[in-house]
Structure 1
Amino acid sequence: MSTGWFYLAAMIGMYGVANLLQSMAAAKTTAHHTLDPALLVRLARHRTYLVGLLCQMLGFILAFLARRDLPLFLVQASMAAGLGVTAILGVLVLKWRLPPAEISLLVLLCLGIAALVISAQPHPSRDIGVTGEIALVVTLGLVAVLGLLAAKLHGAPGSVALGALAGMSFGAAAVASRPLANAHSVDAFITDPLLYILIAHSLVAQLLLGLAMQRGSTTAAVAAMDAACAIPPAIIGLMFLGDKVRPGLGWLAAVGFVATLASVIGMTFFAEPQHHHAIGRHRRPDQFVGTRRAPE
């Protein structure tokens, strides 16, 4: 049995906790309306954000290890299951109230992930080649430019747009990590350009996600991110990286992927805001409307 399954399960839990803690810190930080790296410094002043960032880093490492054997369509879609963990913890810890539509979508998400787990077949990755590396660098520049424009959006549209761009960059990092995870030595790992492409995409995505969480619903921001980082890597993995589906279960993989994607996209429409910011106004952390101040 592949160890990738263990890494996959642990990854889901880590990402769920990370989303919740980073959302709590973002709700207590003065809102930004530009793509300003200083936001990460402001967020880092909160212990909750630092713990959430640590959980996200652990989730990232676990996802990296899972991608060594498991196909991208499974690992990327399973990252969305962390959203379910976030929602459950939000209800238990922060007293979030989830609408019936969001609860139904979370159930659909779980069913979709289950179908993907059943249909996925572990298999090592192929090399991405120089052309693939260039494409990932171009994608990084495109995401950065679009991020500068999306950072000017307020409310739910800004949350969804920035979350989607964060997902694109996280997805590009995932594509880079799939062949990188098969490096046979430390020297090969450190000297591989994919490592630095992965780091650059991850930093840009982290900044975009921090901005997205300030602008409306946490679940909407994360759902948009998960949707955007699921489709391109899944297609690239199946077409170019040697990802495989168990014989005769292609239909189940397709149904599971569509169900997972439909659930996370649906959450961008039905999820209700857990916190709000008045863009450009400076408030003390306990003055934000619509949220109870959580202890750090």
Structure 2
Amino acid sequence: MSLALVSALASALCYGIASVLQSIGARKTEASATVDPRLMIRLAQSLPYVIGVAFDVLGFLVSLVALRDLPLFVVQAIVSSYLAVVAVLAVSFLHARLGRTEWLAIGVVVLGLILLAFSAGPEGPATLATPGRWALLAFGVLLAIVAWAIGSVSGRVGALLIGALAGLGFGLVGVATRVLRDPITVSGLLTDPAAYAVALGGLLGMLLFATALQRGAVTTATAATVAGQTFAPALVGVLVLGDHTRPGLGIVGLVGFALAVAGAITLGRYGEL
């Protein structure tokens, strides 16, 4: 197994641990009536949430290796499998009981990941012209404006819409990281619009996902987030960045991607414990 694949799996493990810790913090924090950046300030006062963010940062750093060397559709599907990690952790540490459907979903995720690993070929860093990098940052700003505009929508619709926007924020992180200038240097990051898109997308994703979890059903918010952070980046990777599978294994990669995402969405209720 390549270092990039190991890095992607390690990233999913970190995100799974982070999700458990952040959900504990979010449940104990006062909810917001709209998309309010002050929610992050309140969450910063919760030790479990802060430790969870630390695992998020670790997961992102580990994922850099994968995002630079694997197609986006592979990495984003593996990252979404963190929900399977959360479900297993719930059994191991919180004495939760998984039903037949949940165990089947975990098996589907594992099968999907195996197929993705088998079909994935090395890509190397992607290239994107400067206007495209600015477009990524502009998309992040547009995402923030849309989130502010619909932030007061409540109930299931609010959880669905805000969760989907959170997924697009996380997806922006994946796309922007994929196209960071190579090699990555401090001076390069400071002058690369894609680097700012990474930061903006990450902050928006965390804020919007926490808001979505407080707005409606966990399954609704998590399923929307998973869909947003997998399908959109996968399309960008294939259509814009030229991502592909190994020759002759396109169908295998597509089936693996579909299985991994479907299993993750089925485990959506573990987006918050």
Same-fold call, TM cutoff 0.5: yes
2:111 aligns with 111
Change (3 A) 1:217 1:115: farther
Distance in 2 separating the partners of 1:119 and 1:203 = 32
Unaligned 5+ runs, structure 1? 276-296
The 1:6/1:105 distance shift into structure 2, 3 A limit, reads: closer
Pair 1:223–1:95, CA change in 2 (3 A): farther
Aligned match of 2:175: 175
RMSD: 2.3
Whether the 8 Å contact between 1:25 and 1:46 is mirrored in structure 2 is yes
How many Å separate the matches in 1 of 2:20 and 2:73?
Answer: 24
- Show structure 2 runs of 5+ residues with no match: none
Structure 1 residues 156 and 80, CA, compared in 2 at 3 Å: closer, same or farther? same
User: Deviations 1:231-271 (Å, cap 9, x if unpaired)?
Assistant: 12112112222323111211100111122232334455xx4
- In the TM superposition, what whole-angstrom CA distance separates every residue of 1:35-74 from its partner, at most 9, and x where no partner exists? 1111011111111000000000111111122111111111
Q: Deviations over 1:124-172 (max 9, x none)?
A: 1331113322432332233223323443233444333222111101111
Structure-2 separation of matches of 1:116 and 1:274: 26
Residues 12-161 of structure 1: pairs in structure 2 closer than 5 A: 12-161=12-161
SS in 1 for 2:69: coil
Question: What's the CA shift string for 1:164-206, capped at 9, x where partnerless?
Answer: 1111011112111102163354422332121112111111111
SS in 2 for 1:241: coil
Whichever of the two has the greater Rg, that structure is 1
The equivalent residue for 1:213 is 213
Kindly report which structure 2 residues correspond to 1:252-291, keeping only aligned pairs within 5 A, or say none: 252-267=252-267, 271=269
Deviation per residue, 1:268-293 (Å, 9 max, x gap): 5xx48967xxxxxxxxxxxxxxxxxx
Cα contact 2:18–2:53 (8 A) shared by 1: yes
Residue 147 of structure 1 contacts residue 162 of structure 1 at CA under 8 Å; is this kept in 2?
A: yes
Report the Cα distance in structure 1 between the residues aligned to 2:32 and 2:178, rounded to whole angstroms.
34
- The residue that corresponds to 1:11 in the other structure is 11
Q: 1:181 to 1:118 in 2, by over 3 A?
A: farther
- Which secondary structure does the structure 2 equivalent of 1:61 belong to? helix
8 A Cα contact 1:163 1:208, kept in partner: yes
CA distance in 2, matches of 1:272, 1:151: 23
Partner Cα distance (1:150, 1:101) in 2: 34
Instruction: After TM superposition, give the deviation of residue 98 of structure 1 in Å.
Output: 4.2
For residues 180-199 of structure 1, the aligned pairs below 5 Å read: 180=180, 182-183=182-183, 185-199=185-199
181 and 188 in structure 1: CA distance in 2 versus 1, 3 angstrom threshold: closer
Residue 165 of structure 1 corresponds to 165
1:141–1:99 Cα change, 3 Å: farther
Identical amino acids, percent of aligned pairs: 37
Give aligned pairs, total: 273
Bigger share in helix: 2
Q: Check the 8 A contact 1:2/1:122 in 2, yes or no.
A: no
Provide the rounded CA distance (Å) in 1 between the counterparts of 2:101 and 2:141: 36
| 1:286 alignment partner in structure 2 | none
TM-score, normalised with respect to structure 1:
0.83
TM-score, length basis structure 2: 0.90
Deviation, structure 1 residue 99: 4.7
In 1: Cα distance, 2:193 partner to 2:184 partner = 15
